[in-house]
Structure 1
Amino acid sequence: MDLDTPIRIGALCLLLASAETLHGIARTVLVTPLIGKERAVKLSAVTGTALAFAICFMQVPGIDLRSASAHLALGAGLAFFMAAFDICIGRLLMHKQWKKIWPDFNPHTGNYLLFGLVCLCFMPLSVWYLRS
């Protein structure tokens, strides 16, 4: 692995985080007033996953990984990064307490963020199969 690979992976992480942040802002400002918070959160799990897949579809081939296990490792790393990013935004920027953050990851509370993270684990592998 050359120096280019970690730089591309870091850029992908930042691109995903930026896109998902803008996606969350758009959901809050534009969609929630129209359909309510509960529906908007559920809808954004689907649209956020589609957005992440589109970004991965464009960016993962440029990373030039060569095996299924490398693509799975990338997906796990992306999911970990995005979960950590979500927690940091909640704690540091929005000043949420832990008891308000953990329900975001619990499907029983009506939030499907966990499903999106699981999908993110397999996105690079899916892109690799689709593009090869």
Structure 2
Amino acid sequence: MSWDALLRMASLCVLLACAETLHGIARTTLVVPRLGKGRAIKLSALTGTLLAFCICWLRVPGIGLQTAGEHLALGLGLAAFMAVFDMAIGRWVMRKSWAKLWPDFDPRTGNYLLFGLLGLCVIPLLVWLSHRA
């Protein structure tokens, strides 16, 4: 894998992190007051996944990956990066304790972040398959 491809992957991580951060701010300020926190969190799992798909639709083909395995590896890397990014924001920016962070990843608590991360695992593969057709 070339340095250029690695740089493009890193820029995709940063772009997704920025977009999801703005998405979270919009959810908190615009959607929560209208729908309530529970519904807003559920809706944002869907809209966040769609946002990630759109960004990947535009950026993944330019990375230059050639196989399904490479695209799955990219998806796993993106999901891992976003999970760590989410924990870092929660821990060091929002000052949440570790005990308050873990429920964000647990669907039993009404949070669907885990499903969004699982979706992100396969989005690059779906984009690649769609562009091949």
TM-score (norm 2): 0.98
Paired position in structure 2 for 1:41: 41
Query: What displacement does 1:123 show?
Result: 0.4
Q: What residue is the counterpart of 1:61 in the other structure?
A: 61
Matched, 1:90 2:86: no
Task: Name the residue aligned to 2:105.
Answer: 105
Gaps of 5+ in 1: none
Deviations 1:16-61 (A, max 9, x none): 0000000000000000000100000000000000000000000000
Name the structure 2 match of 1:50. 50
Please give the root-mean-square deviation of Cα atoms over the aligned residues, in Å. Answer: 0.4
Paired letter, 2:63: I
CA distance in 2 between counterparts of 1:2 and 1:89 reads 30
Cα deviation 1:45-104 (Å, max 9, x = unaligned): 000000000000000000010000000000000000000000000001011001110000
Q: 3-state DSSP class of the match of 1:102?
A: helix
CA separation in 1, counterparts of 2:98 and 2:127? 34
Give the aligned partner of residue 74 of structure 1: 74
Question: TM-score with structure 1 length normalisation?
Answer: 0.99
Tell me the equivalent position of 2:120. Answer: 120
| CA distance, structure 1, for counterparts of residue 85 and residue 114 of structure 2 | 14
**Alpha-carbon separation, structure 2, partners of 1:60 and 1:66:** 11
Q: CA deviation at 1:3?
A: 1.4
- In the alignment, structure 2 segments of 5+ residues that lack a partner are none
